[in-house]
A and B are shown apart, each in its own frame.
Chain A
Amino acid sequence: MRPDDGAPAAAAEGPGEGLEVALFVTCLVNVMRPQIAESAIDLLEAAGCHVVVPLEQTCCGQPALNAGDAEDAKAMARHQIAVLEPFAHVVVPSGSCTATIAHDYVALFADDPVWGPRARALASRIHEVLSFLVDVLGFTPPPVRLPATATYHDTCSGLRELGIRAQPRQLLKSVEGLELVPLPDADVCCGFGGTFCIKYPAIADAVVTEKTAAIRSTGADILLGGDLGCLMNMAGKLKRQGSTVRTYHTVEVLAGRGALPGLGEER
């Protein structure tokens, strides 16, 4: 229960009571959409968690890893492991960065006697934020109201590497007035693929054009998803096409920020 005297939300009681949780912000959220991090903190604090933001955190190294640059990826991985390993739980508002730390770090240091055990220990404590709220805490967010129709795109890393499919849909039921309409081919890639969309812009454009056609076919006002890179790709295409569909990370809507401007929209 949240006290009415204006005390900080951290005082709330909830399934996360007494848990110290570090937030790994991710590069894109840090730069492009800080309110995703703020929304994640709101939700975690509403669940009773004590949220810590380690200032030394940087990039998980996924760009290097996906480019084939294993050495630079390892350097970045070692840095994040050192920064994040003191915490019992690390929560990330991105499926792909979570998967990098949970799966790829372990593979990168598979034969490393020092960093291997440290990577495996961190992997067991890292969680994508929606999965943490549902699977670890069993938390139902305090109700917020957003009268709108939304459609949900399953971003690939979260879906296939972390098994995130039911959690966002379940959490979104707590949003009053929000109708969730199914997106055709919701599990098909949007064409972002990190540097893929820069290296092969014409192919990426063909893929995202099919995706935005599917989004627009639903008639939804709002597009939701769990990875900011994918959301920027789809929102950028929707805006270029003149669409009025608003795009948000799922946590923004859950934390009551769904009426603020979406990605790439004027204040």
Chain B
Amino acid sequence: MAQASEIVPGFDRRTAEALANRQLKIAIDRTAGTARAKRAAIVGEWPDFAVARAHGKAIKDHVVAHLGHYLAEFERNAVASGAVVHFARTADEAATIVVGICEAAGAKRVTRSKSMLGEEIGLPHALEAAGIERTETDLAEHIVQLAGERPSHIIWPAMHKTREEIHELFKAGHAAPDLGETPVEMAASARRILREKFHAADVGISGANFLIADSGSVAVVTNEGNAELTTTLPPVHIVTAGIEKLVPSAGHALQMLRLLVRSATGAAMTQYTTFHTGPKRAGDADGPREFHIVLVDNGRTRMLAEEGGLRDMLRCIRCGACMNHCPVFNQIGGHAYGGTYPGPMGAVLTPALDGLSMQTRDLAHACTLNGRCREVCPVDIPLPTLLRGWRTKSWREGLEPVTMRSGLSLWRSLATHPLAYRLGVAAASLALRLMAGRSRRIRRLPLVGGAWTRHRDMPAPSGSTFLNSAAARARAPGRGKGEIR
């Protein structure tokens, strides 16, 4: 995968850069903070949210359990509506198919509406490599394209940019005159640039929020209307979608949409919700001449095969609530994760898509397992459990550091020999108390403890260990509390 292979130079360095960037933290707090507050408000006034969530989970689980059936039904109905359906096993295959369709249409210019799957399959890079001019028409994606970056959030791709930074990008990247630095003026400047691109495009490429099996339709939601201009003006429309986007019917899609929009932006409804069924028919006012749907596997059937594990991740509807509520994401932002998808869902997906390696093993560890991501997930994905699953796999595959392996091996020996454990930790307690002295806290610990005391004090043990005292009492009963056995 062209884009995802750029996930060097390492998690620690990306994290350090992110933490040093004060503008980034301001930008994250503005966007994620607003998103959390709006989500909490709208979920709070939704009396049957828990029921809707359970129902959404059941819909997705049902589709995943019968994926072959719904894929076949979708293909049959899409073809009947006049669409051309393509299957891609890998990211490269998907990108090659899309580029091939563009080349067959003689396309020189394409417009794209926001699609994380497009990022996943490396489409921006593949189009450029084929010499095709690519224009991102989602406002935030437009900003990311001007900056030569990748999205840092799956809902707000440019969340890492402050308004001031965006104005600088527009001044440099947009035709004169500069229209100003308020959000309204900057949107007007982008609209002026993008309007020409919409009209000049030979091919429009979109993603999909839902693939509707019983009609072969593709549903796309946006808040800017750019997807509608991307998909109806050019003579060719290509949809790229992961196969997990399938739902049985439009009714199911609308149930999922309620969960998606409320969880993503805290709004009750998206501004634009468009259902595409086949190309332009006789008598239609507009629409593409050709309508292609590229269904992408890229590791999804492999996830499906893992019973009780990663298949839960196939429920994900890409709302971004997990990252908005993640204490780690809120400090380091999306780029530090290094993959297409950031935050908790990205930490689960990236090793599934790109493979578990020294490059990706950090993602599952850089998590406190606090569980807030699962709490807000609209389809109840057990993200902490899945992240721990990656840690277990990483351990089995020998990717974990030798210090951790020998440390835990020693700890296990102590913890399965009670006397050794009791005396061993009593010795540690004594050492800590000696280090602390009268101040009752330690300002500098040696070895791995230094990672703690670099940023905070270590409170000293308040006395000898409880179990050692208890053992002493057991030898001289009658004093103290509890029965020692």
Residues of A within 8 A of B (CB): 8-9, 23, 25, 27, 29-35, 37-38, 41-42, 45, 50-59, 61, 63-70, 72, 75-76, 79, 156-157, 160-161, 187-189, 191-194, 196-208, 232-233, 235-237, 239-240, 261, 263-267
A203→B19 CA distance, assembly (Å): 8
Q: Do residues A235 and B332 form an inter-chain contact, with CB atoms below 8 A?
A: no
Q: Do residues B441 and A236 form an inter-chain contact, with CB atoms below 8 A?
A: yes
A residues in contact with B469, CB < 8 Å:
34
Q: A66-B391, A203-B331 are in contact. Are A56 and B457 (CB under 8 A)?
A: no
A residues in contact with B483, CB < 8 Å:
50-53
> Most chain-A Cβ atoms within 10 A of its Cβ — which of B396, B456, B470?
B456
Q: Do residues A156 and B456 form an inter-chain contact, with CB atoms below 8 A?
A: no
Q: Looking at the assembled complex, report how far the CB atom of A142 sits from the nearest CB atom of chain B, in whole angstroms.
A: 15
B residues in contact with A75, CB < 8 Å:
412, 415-416
B residues in contact with A32, CB < 8 Å:
429, 459, 461-462
Q: A25-B467, A59-B411, A233-B456 are in contact. Are A52 and B482 (CB under 8 A)?
A: yes
Query: Does B219 reach chain A (CB closer than 8 Å)?
Result: no
Interface of B is mostly: helix
B residues in contact with A69, CB < 8 Å:
392, 395, 400, 404-405, 408
Q: Do residues B368 and A67 form an inter-chain contact, with CB atoms below 8 A?
A: no
> Most chain-A Cβ atoms within 10 A of its Cβ — which of B328, B369, B414?
B369
Extra pairs beyond A25-B466, A31-B432, A200-B328 (17, CB < 8 Å): A8-B481, A27-B425, A31-B429, A31-B465, A37-B466, A41-B482, A63-B411, A64-B412, A156-B369, A200-B15, A201-B454, A201-B455, A207-B327, A208-B456, A233-B456, A235-B459, A266-B440
Q: Looking at the assembled complex, report how far the CB atom of A208 sits from the nearest CB atom of chain B, in whole angstroms.
A: 7
Q: Do residues A72 and B408 form an inter-chain contact, with CB atoms below 8 A?
A: yes
Nearest chain A residue, comparing its CB with the CB of B390 = A68
The 7 closest A-B pairs by CB, nearest first: A193-B368, A68-B391, A264-B459, A68-B395, A236-B456, A189-B370, A34-B466
B residues in contact with A161, CB < 8 Å:
371
Across the interface, A192 reaches (CB within 8 A) one of B368, B404, B414, namely B368
A225→B16 CA distance, assembly (Å): 30
Q: Looking at the assembled complex, report how far the CB atom of B58 sits from the nearest CB atom of chain A, in whole angstroms.
A: 22
B residues in contact with A41, CB < 8 Å:
481-482
Q: Looking at the assembled complex, report how far the CB atom of B395 sits from the nearest CB atom of chain A, in whole angstroms.
A: 4
Q: Do residues A236 and B452 form an inter-chain contact, with CB atoms below 8 A?
A: yes
B residues in contact with A203, CB < 8 Å:
15, 19, 328, 331-332, 366
Q: Do residues A66 and B456 form an inter-chain contact, with CB atoms below 8 A?
A: no
A residues in contact with B412, CB < 8 Å:
64, 72, 75-76
A residues in contact with B8, CB < 8 Å:
none
Across the interface, B331 reaches (CB within 8 A) one of A33, A35, A207, A263, namely A207
Q: Looking at the assembled complex, report how far the CB atom of A35 sits from the nearest CB atom of chain B, in whole angstroms.
A: 6
A191→B392 CA distance, assembly (Å): 22
Q: Do residues B388 and A65 form an inter-chain contact, with CB atoms below 8 A?
A: yes
Nearest chain A residue, comparing its CB with the CB of B440 = A266
A residues in contact with B449, CB < 8 Å:
198
B residues in contact with A55, CB < 8 Å:
418, 422, 467, 470-471, 474, 484-485
